[in-house]
Amino acid sequence: MGRAFVYVILGGGVSAGYAALEFTRRGVSRGELCIISEEPVPPYERPALSKGCLLPETPARLPSFHTCVGANEERLTPKWYKEHGIELVLGTRVKSADVKRKTLLTAAGETISYKILIIATGAQALKLEEFGVSGSNAENVCYLRDLADAERLVNVMQSCAGGNAVVIGGGYIGMECAASLVINKINVTMVFPEAHCMARLFTPKIASYYEDYYKSKGVKFIKGTVLSSFDMDSNGKVTAVNLRDGSRLPANMVVVGIGIRPNTSLFEGQLTLEKGGIKVNGRMQTSNSSVYAVGDVAAFPVKLFGETRRLEHVDSARKSARHAVSAIMEPKKTDDFDYLPFFYSRVFALSWQFYGDAAGEAVHFGDYSGSTIGAYWISKGHLVGSFLEGGSKEDYEAIANATRLKPAIKDLTELERQGLGFALTI
Ligand code: FDA
Ligand code: NAD
């Protein structure tokens, strides 16, 4: 048995939702487009899972955060897909793909064929077992990638109010979940191997600003070590976390955020891979011209830096998806993707944005004992990255604009003196 579509989007996450909206804007006909997703619900704004969804009071729940509300666009509910004649094949895992035959085989045994495929499979959370620690399946150990994980995390949090949580990992998930746990009145200890939090992006000075803020909210940090094992009770629940430095932390729950792996396995040996993802050109087209890749799984050329990058952030998922659809539906009118990397986070009352590349030497500005802090990154004599906490809409637009212009910087001391003013006046 099988069905055939002109366009198939494999994966039903952020980029799938933005691609679907773009297809309808560019005039896809009823019955031409299908989205296949392992998740039981249509595409939603994944960032809500570590923020609004975890709030103790009036938490965000579907359908409120279906795509594309994150970019202030239309909200695509199940009804919307029906009205637009888009086939949603939900709760369905694709278990193999054949790019020569242009077919996908689902776990339910259906063959779905396409003329054009968009791979939007995102990524999966790395498991502790990959670092030699067992216990990931314990009922009070939580990961956070999809809606089911978020629902589980909420239940575990509610069952240990006033208790102790250990957060493993000092990246995005660790920082955002630690803040949410504190808001839910749970005592938090964060454990990570690096010398400071958010080591992939933050300088030590930026990190210490956030760590001090977290400490003022009661969060404890144990840095430079990793966990070695869990203590379990007779029901298989974790009761404590043992660290490699010999210490033991009693725990009512554990949240793990130790990075991700892009979901490329269906295409290994069939498409060219790079940087852990599927390599695409400036049209988001893979090494097979009928197959496109977008979002976390795509390694694409970032024109501004003359380099191929794979980004794991929502803005890139949204824009790469739209770009792929534009390249598919209006190839002559579509130039190569020209993307300025944009990352952001919101925790407690804090909110930051980052544009560009955190490469080269950092120049800090702002009041590191106050509420507005920032930094520029200078590489090979040019400004290539900008970070700002606590800015206004105009401030963020200014640092984005300055970063895109990549201005030459001769005097770092003068740049430091001008601070945000440099971006505002350029
Ligand atoms: P995404 O992961 O959204 O979707 C992939 C889809 O493919 C899923 O529905 C999955 O089930 C499906 N799939 C995979 N394999 C399949 C198969 N074989 N068969 C069928 N379906 C399959 N970024 C940011 O910039 N700011 C933020 O604040 C946050 N916050 C945030 C919070 C949390 C909790 C997470 C997990 C992530 C973020 N992010 C973020 C990152 C952002 O959400 C991420 O970059 C995008 O979701 C990527 O979109 P994709 O569509 O590529 O993958
Ligand atoms: P991450 O890459 O941000 O951080 C991984 C962290 O794991 C590292 O900082 C390190 O501290 C830790 N780590 C690595 N090995 C470890 C080990 N053996 N033991 C303990 N800790 C170890 O990944 P994440 O925080 O898991 O986030 C997952 C994905 O979700 C990423 O793609 C991220 O971009 C995305 N996300 C983004 C946002 C945002 O942009 N605001 C928010 C949430 C999630």
Q: Which residue's entry shows tokens 């009145």? A: 185
At 316 the pLDDT is 98
Q: Which amino acid is at 262?
A: P
Average pLDDT over residues 222-251: 96
Q: Under DSSP, is residue 7 helix (H, G, I), strand (E, B) or coil?
A: strand
342 lines ligand 2 (CB under 6 A): no
176 lines ligand 2 (CB under 6 A): yes
In the DSSP assignment, the letter for residue 393 is: H
Looking at the CA of residue 43, tell me the nearest atom of ligand 1: 9
Cβ of 2: how many Cβ atoms within 10 Å?
Answer: 12
Q: How far apart are the first and last CA of the chain?
A: 61
CA distances from 212 to 6, 197, 201, 376 (A): 53, 11, 17, 21
| 293-312 per-position pLDDT tens digit | 999 999 999 999 999 999 99
Q: Where are the alpha helices (DSSP H) in 27-92?
A: 78-83
Residues in the chain: 426
Answer whether residue 1 shows pLDDT above 80. Answer: no
| 79-116 per-position pLDDT tens digit | 999 999 999 999 999 999 999 999 999 999 999 999 99
Q: Would you place residue 138 in the very low, low, confident or very high pLDDT band (cuts 50, 70, 90)?
A: very high
Q: Is the pTM of this model over 0.80?
A: yes
* Residues above pLDDT 70, as percent of the chain: 100
Strand order in the sheet with 164-168: 141-142, 253-256, 164-168, 187-192, 220-223
Measured in angstroms, how far is the CA atom of residue 179 from the centroid of ligand 2? 15
Looking at the CA of residue 314, tell me the nearest atom of ligand 2: 40
Cβ of 201: how many Cβ atoms within 10 Å?
Answer: 17
Mean per-residue pLDDT of the chain: 97
Bridge partners for 241 per DSSP: 230, 249
At 230 the pLDDT is 98
255 lines ligand 1 (CB under 6 A): no
Tokens of 285: 């087209």
Radius of gyration of the chain (CA): 22
In the DSSP assignment, the letter for residue 305 is: G
**Range list of β-strands (E), 46-194:** 87-89, 94-98, 103-106, 111-119, 123-125, 141-142, 164-168, 187-192
| 243-295 per-position pLDDT tens digit | 999 999 999 999 999 999 999 999 999 999 999 999 999 999 999 999 999 99
